[in-house]
Structure 1
Amino acid sequence: MTNKKEKNLEENYLPTQYLNNENPYSFRHNYDQNIANMAYNKEKLNLLHRVQPQKLNVIFDQKSLNDERNYMILEAITVRRKNLLNKAFKILKREVILDKSAEEILEEYIENPEILDILLELKKMNLINQQMKLRAKVSHVVSLKISDVAKIDSRNGEKVNIDNLREALIFSSLYKFYSGVNEK
């Protein structure tokens, strides 16, 4: 009885590779007797294939992605700047000014700790572009240094063992070295 159920399940099985348009020949065994070839099932499968989107190999232009990212960052900075200035001038109970002279006005009230915090945030935001350029330069230099030092092993068919403890010890020693933490 169970053998008959297993056989019935095997006959009625539709591989997901076939359903997802990945492999139309995924069941060649008894292809002519398969339930996918029954008229009703074949029609349903064809409808399914028409509804599913075709796989497209799309390559995005890296320059346009970077431009879009930079635009989004600048917009976020602008919105954050407006919110901070609104908050500061609300504390001062004055009319909001959104140009560069706003920072000069806020510097007159630097004794107020809330204004000082807002002013520090504004000064940090003014340095974001320089920070991004510096980060890109450092990343480029580090990637060049890593590629010079890295050993490329071609292990064809060999099993790769990853030792997490070893990696953690290397990371902690690098952290201690660069952060100036000394063991005693």
Structure 2
Amino acid sequence: MAEAERIIGTPDVDDGAAAPAERPRGRRRIFVLFSVAAVAYALDLASKMLVVAKLEHHRPIRVIGDWLTFEAVRNPGAAFGFGEAFTIIFTIIAAVVIVVIVRLARKLYSLPWAIALGLLLGGALGNLTDRIFRSPGVFEGAVVDFIAPKHFAVFNLADSAIVCGGILIVILSFRGLDPDGTVHKD
């Protein structure tokens, strides 16, 4: 067994059907995916509730001088505030991403992919919750952003989870590791 296959937990089956001993491993990966998603979602939701309760309509809090502040901002658009008129489109995209990840979970045998997809799922759920339940209305809600580095866009923990999950997916893809645990060499 190749080193990469050992690390990611590749199923040792050629015909595509998981052996009985491998099924629990797949379930553990699914458990990891949903656990990571739940933690990312809970942290995002809790941080946004805190920001809305304690920071909205107040002065920004300096965390590291002028380099990092916490500032409550409602963002109806996508990253960097682009696409404010397309909030419903971003809502649909987030919902589609969630459905795709949940469907992909059945074929998941790779722990790194479980973590990456869990981050992506938790972040998408966090921002989708804002889009559905925050003002100005259902499916048109503005996302609560609050992490404001100097000379950069204001973002939130859901955005961070999405970016970290996306970076991990790119790294895994470049290394040839697939969600089903197989390794391909191009």
Fold-level similarity (TM above 0.5):
no
| Higher Rg | 1
User: Which structure shows the bigger proportion of residues in strand conformation?
Assistant: 2
Q: TM-score, normalised by structure 1?
A: 0.30
Larger RCO of the pair (alpha carbons < 8 Å, separation 6+): 2
